[in-house]
Amino acid sequence: MPIMSGITATQTIRRLQASGEITRHVPIIGVTANARKEQVEQAIAAGMDRVTNKPFRVPQLVEQMETLLAECEISRV
């Protein structure tokens, strides 16, 4: 990302949520070509909900998005 990394963006979003400036959970799926276990763990630790690897198939990403959104809706009830 040209301005900040996905990790930094995720941490910023999660800080805004913690401070109450963002009042709902923002679902975040990281997409990376760096699929090493350490990088995936770092992304999850930063607050990403899921991480998917490049190359990916659009139907698989859409399925992840739908599943994550459903989980977010269930946790709000």
Instruction: Give the span between the Cα atoms of 61 and 44, in whole angstroms.
Output: 17
* Residue pLDDT, tens place only, 52-68: 988 889 999 999 999 99
Q: Are 22 and 57 in contact (CB under 8 A)?
A: no
User: Is 12's pLDDT higher than 80?
Assistant: yes
Q: What is the mean pLDDT of residues 19-38?
A: 91
Q: Are 62 and 69 in contact (CB under 8 A)?
A: no
When pLDDT is cut at 50, 70 and 90, the band that residue 21 belongs to is: very high
User: Is 76's pLDDT higher than 80?
Assistant: no
- Furthest C-alpha separation in the chain: 37
Phi, psi of 50 (to 5 degrees): -150, 160
What the chain holds in terms of domains, given with CATH numbers, is 6-76 (3.40.50.2300)
Residue 23, SS3 per DSSP = coil
